[in-house]
Structure 1
């Protein structure tokens, strides 16, 4: 599917029993990095961070709220803490407040 709302590009897809969503750009810029969020050893979301700590992109499996919050963070240019992004105990929504 494709959303026509303004802001970061977004897409979703249902594949078998998995709901996949992504927002923004997962290409890692120079000096940036990918941060994975794991639950019990399984990656449930990945985030692309720029060198300055701003979020560039996010992708998740079966967690649309993470992508919705990430889209808000990307659109607002909020700098996020990589450790908080990686921590499944920290709701991504809480990071959208900046």
Structure 2
């Protein structure tokens, strides 16, 4: 996959800069030599399919995408907690105190 930066529903074909959180991006399948805008990963209803993009008529370095071909990079965090449900009372203080 080639990760392309997206601006105004267009994949930027000549941009080679990092993409970070909250940026829109598109995932292009490599090896596409059709001369068009390329084939992109797309979510249609509940299926993942390929979307054939077309080149932007005004700018040749952009590919027109549909909304389901654009993805937003977000940050996620995973936190896991555990606790003990002891049935007996402790006679000594719990140390170290959490």
Higher Rg of the two aligned structures? 2
TM-score (norm 2): 0.27
If each structure's helix is expressed as a fraction of its own residues, which one has the higher value?
Answer: 1
TM-score (norm 1): 0.27
